[in-house]
Amino acid sequence: MSTNIPLAERMRPKDLDAYVGQSHLLGEQKVLRNAIKSGNIPSMILWGPPGTGKTTLASLIANELKIPMVSLSAINSGVKDIREAIEKADKLKFFDNRSPILFIDEIHRFSKSQQDSLLGAVEKGTVKLIGATTENPSFEVIPALLSRCQVYTLEHFSVDELKAIVDRAIAKDILYSKRKITIKEYEALLSFSGGDARRLLNIFELIVNQYYVHEEIEITNQKVEQTISENRSLYDKTGEFHYDIISAFIKSVRGSDPNAALFYMARMIEGGEDPLFICRRMIILAAEDIGLANPNALLMSNSCFQAVHQIGMPEARIIMSECVIYLASSPKSNSAYVAIDKAIAAVRQNPNLSVPLHLRNAPTALMKKLDYGKDYKYAHDFGSNFVAQEFLPDELSGTSFYIPGKNQSEEKLSFYLKTLWKEKYNF
């Protein structure tokens, strides 16, 4: 094996017994191991966090069954690539009629039309599909395709499993097994890995490669922290910078700076962030920070999410740019966000307040006899479709959870509510 190959690739398990983790799927008599041993696997979606062994598992299944595997990455593949991959897989079909594996990494990034193009091959058994995703397949995989696949959830590695992975590299790697390496402290190594085995091995390799071949190596928490601080990537979607940059993006939109918001969004896109993750953040921003100052912002951001899901990259970047400029340039209000938190706090402080009798449902004669619904005034029977009456429990009468923000849209709401409620809504 070439010594230029990264450690994480050199240490990729070659058989199921060398695979660490996922014992709930691959332990003795567990569902996926039994399927593999039977030689009759279903099409499947492997769902789990980054670095939990989805790609490795797909390769191991192909090796165990001794059938070919054709791989695609959803990041840079279109419908044409999918069709070509299916044709290639069909030509590789074995004489015993076992279907080859079509492995699609990050399948959640495929648009609906791209996922639709897989249906025929999966349904006919031309290929066994194995899709890998970090996103909930219930939301990101079309129902027709999902119904034809088993979903297997991969879990984060435990501390002991992560230690076993790095210890195995020291004992068995073609290069590092020949060197004297001692891990004095594991805490920082495991912490910076974030539970990602690939990232763990990358950090470990980065530290070891700082030493000459003949030097003894002692790995401590201090050494790991120093190495990480000196070798931070510009953007790492699984690391600390991920949180720094998404924080800067959110605060730039909230602060009405479209240029800064575009810059941080571009950093995320170039760093390989899932565009739909960015779009979800924009939907939250539209509700939390723009809110009733511009209700169209929520419609815009939700439409952006749907369009990006349908179109995919690279064209989706234009839709995202339009949306983030719109959000950053919109007036801002967090009044709805503040209001619901106030209401939730009131519910927690007063969990058992009774609904006023006149607001209660009265489907039976007994309930009517108990005055359920009595004296309720139907708003549409009155002028302007409004009549003053109490809707809150007596104990909360006069409480204002919603305070309109100081912006043109909510000032209209404030005027309307004051016109209806007079002094009761005197903000």
Could you report the per-residue pLDDT of 243-285, keeping only the tens digit for each? 678 888 999 999 989 898 999 999 888 877 888 889 999 999 9
CA-wise closest residue to 337 among 401, 294, 397:
401
The tokens of 119 are what?
């249906």
Per-residue model confidence (pLDDT) at position 103: 93
332: left (phi over 0), alpha (psi -120 to 50) or beta: beta
* Spatial distance between the Cα atoms of 421 and 403, rounded to a whole number of angstroms: 14
CB 179 within 8 A of CB 207: no
pTM, rounded to two decimals: 0.55
In angstroms, rounded to a whole number, what is the distance separating the alpha carbons of residues 148 and 313? Answer: 26
Distance CA 311, CA 295 (A): 25
Q: How many CA atoms lie within 13 A of 122 on its CB side?
A: 24
* Contact call for residues 186 and 40 (beta carbons, < 8 A): no
- Reported as half-sphere exposure (CB side, CA atoms, 13 A), residue 253 has a value of 32
**Helix or strand (DSSP H, E) at 101:** strand 101-105
CA 417: distance to chain centroid?
39
Asked whether 112 and 144 are in contact (CB, 8 A), the reply is no
Q: Which domains does the chain have, with CATH numbers?
A: 21-153 (3.40.50.300), 159-230 (1.10.8), 240-329 (1.20.272.10), 352-425 (1.10.3710)
The beta strands (E) that lie in 139-290 are given as: 150-153, 181-183, 217-219
Question: What are residue 101's DSSP bridge partners?
Answer: 69, 128
Phi, psi of 111 (to 5 degrees): -75, 175
**Angle, in degrees to the nearest 10, between helices 221-230 and 197-208:** 90
Question: Residue 112 has what pLDDT?
Answer: 85
Degrees to nearest 5, angle at CA 112 with 72 and 135 = 65
| Regions of the chain short of the pLDDT cut 70 | 1-3, 94-97, 230-243, 362-363, 366-367, 369-371, 426-427
Q: Is 253 left (phi over 0), alpha (psi -120 to 50) or beta?
A: alpha
H helices of 289-334, in order, are 296-311, 316-329
Q: Which contacts (CB < 8 Å, 24+ apart) does range 303-311 have?
A: 304/279, 305/276, 305/279, 305/280, 308/275, 308/276, 308/279, 309/111, 309/112, 309/276, 309/279, 310/111, 310/112, 310/113, 311/111
pLDDT at residue number 298? 95
DSSP 3-state of 145: helix
